[in-house]
Amino acid sequence: MSSSSQTSPLQVEQEARAEAETNPELYQHFANLVSSLPSSEGLSHNQFYRHDQGWYSGLVPIVGAMVADACFTARPSDIVVATLPKSGTTSIKSLLYATVHRREHHLATAADNHPLISVGPHGCIKFFEYQLYTRNRVPDLDKLPDPRLFATHLPFVSLPRTIATSGSKIVYVCRDPKDHLISQWDFANKLRVMNQLEPLSVETAAELFCAGLSPFGPYWDHVLGYWHAHLTRPQQVLFFRYEEMQKDPAAHVRRLAEFVGHPFGVGEEEDGVVDAIVRLCSFEHMSGLEVTKSGKTDLVIGTVENSSFFRRGVVGDWANHLSPETARRIDAITAAKFMGSGLVLASNGQ
C-alpha cells in the first residue's frame, strides 16, 4: 500500500473548513424565512418542518440546504451521493471513495492509513446540510481538487441548483421502505434517548412513516424524485438499490466506476482490485474498525457515535419488527405511489 506524499483531498478540505468564512447574517436571513414553515411531530427527536417537497427533522438542515443553494458552485466533475437516511449511505460513500481514490490509496494491502480506516466514510465524504454548510460557516470548497465528492439527503428538487445545471454526477441509493423504516426507527430512538426523550414504539414510527413524516420524507416522493431524474438523465444520475448491492457488490462497484469515469483496467481486474474494494467496504470489515467502534461524527444535529451507522446490514430485517398487517399497508402505499413510474423495488422482485 502506498499513499501519495502530496496533500490529500481530505487535508485540503479540512484546511478549507478551518479557514471557512462565517456569515451569520446569511444564516439568519434563511432562518427568518423558514421560521413559519408548517410543522408536525415526526419520526425523529426533533420537530419536523415542511419545506419544498420534504419533511425535515429540525430547521437547521433546511437553513444549511438554503445556504448551500446560495453559495455552492458545482463542477461537472463533482460526484454527489444522494440517499434517504438509513438507505445505505455509509456503504455507498465507502465504495465511491475507495473507487475514486484507489490510485492514491492503493488497496491491495489495505493499510491502516487508508482514509476510510482512519477517519471513516462520513469523514471522507461530507453532507452539505449536516457537515459543510453548518454553524454559520461558508466553506471555500473551490480549493478542493477534482473530483470533489459530496453527500446529501436532500430531495432532488432541493439540491443546490448548480448541481443539476453543471452536469455533476449523482449516485442515488434506494432501499426497501420497510427496512428503511426499521433502520430509521432504531436510529431515531438512539437520538431520542440521547436527547432524554422516550423511544418511539414501532407502531408509532410506522404511522408517522406512512404519513410521510420521516426525515426527508415522504419516502416515496424522495425516491421518485431521483428515479425520474435518472430516467431523464441517465448519464448524470445513477440509481442503485441497496438490496441489489448486497447481492452483487462487485458488479455495482464496476458500474459505479464506469459511471464516474474511472473504469477498472484489465490489469486492475487481474490484480483483484474490485474484490479488494468490496472487502474493504463490507459491513463485516467496516463495522469492526476502531474508527467505527470508538469514533464519532460531528453532525449539525449532534455528535453521533460511528457505531450507530452500523446495525445489522441485512435485507428483510423488517420481518422481525413489523406486523404482517403494517407490512402489507406499506407495500400497498408503495405500489400505489410507484404505479406507472416503471420503478420496481429489488425486494419486490425477490
Known catalytic residues are 153
Among 9, 54, 64, 85, binds ligand A3P (CB under 6 A): 85
Q: How far is the CB of 73 from ligand A3P (least distance, A)?
A: 27
Q: What is the pattern of x (binds ligand A3P, CB under 6 A) and - over residues 111-130?
A: --------------------
Q: For residues 17 and 311, which CB has a smaller minimum distance to ligand A3P in the complex?
A: 311
State yes or no: residue 347 binds ligand A3P (CB under 6 A).
no
What span, in angstroms and rounded, lies between the C-alpha atoms of 199 and 248? 35
Residues 297-316 contacting ligand A3P, CB under 6 A: 309-313
Among 57, 89, 152, 168, binds ligand A3P (CB under 6 A): 89
- Residues of 257-293 as b/e, b for ≥16 C-beta within 10 angstroms? bebbebebeeebeeeebbebbbebbbbebbbebebbe
What span, in angstroms and rounded, lies between the C-alpha atoms of 298 and 302? 6
Residue of 127, 282, 333, 343 whose CA lies nearest to 215: 127
Q: For residues 190 and 329, which CB has a smaller minimum distance to ligand A3P in the complex?
A: 190
State yes or no: residue 217 binds ligand A3P (CB under 6 A).
no
Other C-beta atoms lying within 10 Å of the C-beta of residue 160: 26
Q: What is the pattern of x (binds ligand A3P, CB under 6 A) and - over residues 34-73?
A: ----------------------------------------
State yes or no: residue 321 binds ligand A3P (CB under 6 A).
no
Q: For residues 283 and 338, which CB has a smaller minimum distance to ligand A3P in the complex?
A: 283
Q: How far is the CB of 246 from ligand A3P (least distance, A)?
A: 6
What span, in angstroms and rounded, lies between the C-alpha atoms of 213 and 210? 7
What span, in angstroms and rounded, lies between the C-alpha atoms of 97 and 90? 11
State yes or no: residue 222 binds ligand A3P (CB under 6 A).
no
Among 179, 243, 244, 268, binds ligand A3P (CB under 6 A): 179
φ and ψ at residue 188, rounded to 5 degrees: -60, -40
State yes or no: residue 213 binds ligand A3P (CB under 6 A).
no
Name the residues that contact ligand A3P, by CB under 6 A: 83, 85-91, 94, 179, 183, 186, 281-283, 286, 309-313, 317
